[in-house]
Structure 1
Amino acid sequence: MERTITGTLSGSFAHVLQTFALSLLVSFLGTLVGAMVVPKSMIPLFIIAEVVMLVAAIVIRIRGKHIGYGFLYAFTAVSGVTLYPVIMAYGGILGAQVVSGAFFATAAIFGGLAFYAHRSQRDFSFLGGFLFAGTIGLVLMSVIGMFVGFGSVINLVWSMVGILIFSGWVLYDVAQYRNGVGTEEVPLAALNIYLDFINLFLYILRFIASIVGFNRN
């Protein structure tokens, strides 16, 4: 997704973080809806909707237009619904306490990286090409994983690479947004940070599950 900021810098970084926090809350509510309302047979439709919305956001940005808050919160709500079966699957493997611990670990890592990127004032733009290529690689691995089962060692390495890449995205995005963004760019900035956080969380869960699988073998 295009991650360049244009326009008047009237949206503060604090506003971006507030919007991101609200996005997480909406996602959590979506997870509850997925748990209590949405039948399992409907989950694939939500996954398709999530992918279509993400592609639409990319196309909208490429055309020089902007996504709105309604789009952002609709996407994070749908994302929450699709996260429910994933979290439940990891909960069955690791236990609810470990999954909760992984979430708090993600929050701590995210917070530490965001604080460093914001306070250090370092330029992390040099990471952009590497992170984009790495993300494409992770997507390809996910597609391959649908058809080929990976062993514990490959899953462990895959999860470590995912953690490094999305940790890098946190540094990159916070550095891009720390001085403020255009008001119309706040939803996109919050969406990027939301995706960084959620993917970091999922790869931490995969990492823990891979360690458990490796030890069992």
Structure 2
Amino acid sequence: MQARRILIFTGGRLGEWALPLIQEDDYVIGADRGAYYLVSHQIRPNLAIGDFDSVTQAEMEFLRQECEHVEACDPIDKDFTDTELAFRYAMAQHPREIILIGALGTRFDHSLANIHLLKTAVDHNVPVSIVDEHNRVRVITDRLLLQKADEYAHVSLLPLTTEVTGIDLEGFRYPLQDATLKIGQSLGISNVIEAKEGSIRIRSGLLLVIESKD
């Protein structure tokens, strides 16, 4: 699976917007309810993984018929969320990129835990993003170039470490030069790219880059 892109569909907010994200060569994982979402939309996951406590027995039988492989675990005797189980499996495949879909939802604890998975991806030098209908979330340690596009109107920056230093923004409505962001500050919220591309550079720390649309 070296150099393949892996998409993980998990049990948060999902909708018709998510299906066009799948490309022909992607390896597709469904985590718990995310697997049922895929098969109910005629998408055959390469792997369904989780404790499947959010599906009925009939839905589970359908999953076993429609997925290439199913890996079920005990809902009590496990240390990780279903999303992290899928994420750890994906990381072990040394992929080119991982995209988490449905990783944000009504359970804020799960949403925040999934954001924290981006830090693990940085530690292993694997590009990972979280995508939903209104947002794309990434973490950077050095530089990121963003193209001006109608898809995302806003770009927000939030520190994932205690502070992020040496922040330079070019091509944005509100530029920054050698700035520092600390946890608890909202200085980086709702910027806008006004040039053809926006450049973000940092010197130290982990910076969340959140592209959003209303």
Higher RCO (C-alpha under 8 Å, 6+ residues apart): 1
TM-score by length of 2: 0.20
Q: Which has the higher helix share?
A: 1
Who wins on radius of gyration, i.e. which is larger?
A: 2
Q: Which has the higher strand share?
A: 2
TM-score, normalised relative to structure 1: 0.20
